[in-house]
């Protein structure tokens, strides 16, 4: 069933202890995939997702597979109850890989392995250099880009995530980011908040991670996508497996063009965004990008019924 709907998938930051457990408890296949992931990778992800501690869940090597698993579990549970094909799929950073699983480009098992390695690579690639990321709020993205240029004399710093018209995340060297935070406040930013992260994500400081990820993807079975995937790198639709892999490797060191991605989908007929994953981070962003946009989030099993009612209005 075709639609005026886009499926969207969140990145890191929305994780919580207990996430996805209601989906797992009613689906033995999902439970076995999670158990096998732990066996194959000598990890304890199932326990960390179920019981914490929160500090372990914030480790990007676990955050990434946890969020991907949660998002795909929500997606699969919905698809068991309604037949709907979105016009586009998109994901924020890590979420782009979740969107590929929903689109049968890559299996859930391979995607969980890939994002676990992605987390490792993104932490390791910085070679122990001092780094930082920060959210700049209250000035537009062009102003933040100017701030980064002005601050770059202190060290590498670039816009990492263009999240909303008044929220941009910056990433880079500790000195560069700290200088940018000061300049941003001078230029009228309402807030400049340092983020607790495992590396300078989406910055040139982790360039090695993109190469390592590209090598890892060569071992996996990627298929062409039936539904266009909106890439973070260029905010344009892609369907070929080779393009998708190339963009995922670039994405590690490139800015996430989330505002442009949402605007592209809306301008091409999307009227409803369905977010799969913990909490409602993307719904909040989408509302700030276009106040007229409609959206619904599936975080828990209990959200499915309402989501189906909303989706039926748009198919």
Active site residues: 93, 202
Q: CA 101, CA 225: separation in Å to the nearest integer? A: 10
Closest CA to 96 of 236, 221, 293: 236
Annotate 94-126 with b (16+ C-beta within 10 A) or e (fewer). bbbbbbbbbbebbbbebbbbbbbbbbbbbbebb
Alpha carbon of 230 to those of 77, 164, 292: distances in Å? Answer: 23, 17, 21
Q: Which helix (H) or strand (E) holds 150?
A: helix 141-151
- H/E/C letters for each residue in 248-314? HHHHCCCCECHHHHHHHHHHCCCCEEEEECCCCHHHHHHHHHCCCCEEEEECCHHHHHHHHHHHHCC
Q: Which two tokens stand for residue 273?
A: 């965004």
Q: Is the peptide bond before 10 cis (omega within 30 degrees of 0)?
A: no
DSSP reduced 3-state for 202: coil
Sheet harboring 167-173: ordered strands across? 157-164, 167-173, 131-137, 191-194
Compute the distance between CA of residue 119 and CA of residue 114 in angstroms, rounded to an integer: 9
Collect all residues with Cβ–Cβ distance below 8 Å to 93 and sequence separation of at least 6: 11, 12, 161, 201, 202, 232, 251, 256
Strands 5-9 and 88-91: parallel
């Amino acid at each position: 069933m075709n639609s005026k709907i886009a499926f969207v998938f969140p990145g890191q930051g929305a994780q919580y202890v207990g996430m996805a457990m209601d989906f797992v408890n009613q689906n033995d296949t999902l439970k076995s995939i999670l158990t096998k992931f732990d066996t194959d990778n000598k990890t304890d992800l199932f326990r960390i997702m179920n019981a914490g501690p929160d500090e372990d869940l914030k480790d990007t090597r676990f955050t990434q597979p946890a969020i991907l698993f949660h998002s795909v579990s929500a997606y699969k549970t919905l698809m068991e109850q309604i037949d709907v094909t979105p016009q586009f799929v998109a994901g924020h950073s890590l979420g782009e890989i979740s969107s590929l699983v929903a689109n049968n480009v890559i299996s859930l098992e391979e995607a969980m392995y890939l994002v676990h390695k992605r987390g490792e690579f993104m932490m390791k690639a910085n070679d122990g250099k001092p780094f930082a990321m920060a959210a700049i709020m209250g000035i537009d993205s062009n102003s933040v880009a100017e701030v980064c240029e002005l601050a770059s004399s202190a060290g590498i710093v670039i816009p990492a995530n263009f999240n909303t018209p008044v929220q941009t995340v910056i990433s880079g060297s500790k000195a560069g980011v700290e200088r940018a935070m000061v300049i941003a406040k001078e230029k009228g930013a309402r807030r400049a908040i340092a983020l607790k992260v495992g590396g300078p994500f989406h910055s040139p400081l982790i360039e090695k991670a993109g190469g390592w990820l590209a090598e890892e993807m060569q071992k996996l079975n990627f298929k062409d996508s039936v539904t266009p995937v909106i890439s973070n790198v260029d905010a344009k639709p892609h369907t070929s497996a080779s393009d998708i892999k190339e963009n995922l490797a670039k994405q590690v060191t490139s800015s996430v063009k989330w505002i442009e991605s949402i605007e592209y989908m809306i301008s091409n007929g999307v009227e409803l965004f369905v977010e799969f994953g913990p909490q409602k981070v993307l719904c909040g962003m989408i509302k700030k990008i276009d106040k007229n946009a409609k959206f619904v989030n599936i975080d828990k099993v209990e959200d499915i019924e309402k989501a189906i009612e909303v989706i039926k209005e748009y198919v």
